[in-house]
Structure 1
C-alpha cells in the first residue's frame, strides 16, 4: 500500500454507509439450515434487510441527484436556475428582511420542484403518446401553467421587495 494510506482508506470504506440498491437476486431461493432463524426478527418486526441501503435518506439523496442531473439538461430549467442566483444577489443588495428572504426561498424551491414535475409529465407523455394528442397537449399545458404561476409568485415577491427598497 503506497504511502501507508491503504489501511485508513479501507477503514473509511467500511465505516461509511453504502448507498446502493440491493441485488434483486440476493434473497432468491429457499432458506435452509439454521441461517433462516437469524432473519426471523427482520421478518417479524419488518426490519430492512442487511442488503438494503444503510439509510433510506441516503438512497433518496441518490435519486434526487439523478433527478437534478436530468433537470439540468432541461432547457427551461437553466434560465430558472440563473434567475435564482440573480434573486439571491438582488435580495442581498436590497438588504431585505429575513421574512422576505424566507418567503423567496419558500417560493423558489417549489418552482424548481414544479419544473421537475413538469419535465416528468412531458417525458411520460412523450413516451406514452409520441404522436400529437389532445390529452398529451392538455397535460403539458397544465404543467406549464403550474410553472408559470410559481414564476409569477416569485416575480410578485421581487416587485414587493423592490417597492420597499425604493421607498426607503
Structure 2
C-alpha cells in the first residue's frame, strides 16, 4: 500500500496569501453582520460604549471591553459556523445536531455573560467612586 501523497504546497507569494486570507475574513465578517444575533451583539457593544463614555471610564477598561466584545463576536461566528454545518449535514432533526447547536449557543451565552459582567463591574466601580 502506498502512503497518501501530501498536499501540494502553495506557490503563491506570502503577501498574496495574506491578502487572500484578509478577503476571506472580510467576507466572513460581512456574513456575520447579516445575522440577527450578531446585530444584537453590535447593538450591545454600542450601548456599552455610550455608557462607558458617559461614565468616564479609563482607557485600560475600554481596551478590555473592546477585547471582550471582539471575542464575543468571534464566538458568535463559530456558533454560526456550527449551525450552518449542522443544517447542511443534518437537515433532519437529530440529537447530535441539536446538541451541537446547544453547545454553540451556550458558548455565546458564556461570552456575553463575561462581556456584560465586565461592563457592569466597571460601570459600578466608576459610578460608586464618584
Q: TM-score, normalised by structure 2?
A: 0.85
The equivalent of 1:36 in structure 2 is none
The equivalent of 1:129 in structure 2 is 90
The equivalent of 1:31 in structure 2 is none
What root-mean-square deviation, in Å, do the aligned CA atoms of Structure 1 and Structure 2 show? 1.7
Larger helix share, 1 or 2: 2
Larger radius of gyration: 1
Higher relative contact order (CA 8 A, sep 6+): 2
CA contact (8 A) 1:96 1:165 kept: yes
**Equivalent position SS for 2:92:** coil
Cα drift, residue 164 of structure 1: 1.4
Q: Which consecutive unaligned segments of at least 5 residues does structure 1 have?
A: 1-45
Cα drift, residue 53 of structure 1: 7.5
**Equivalent position SS for 1:76:** helix
Residue 16 (structure 2) pairs with residue 48 (structure 1)? no
Q: Which runs of 4+ in 1 moved over 4 A?
A: none
The equivalent of 1:82 in structure 2 is 43
Q: Which consecutive unaligned segments of at least 5 residues does structure 2 have?
A: 1-8
The equivalent of 1:139 in structure 2 is 100
Q: TM-score, normalised by structure 1?
A: 0.67
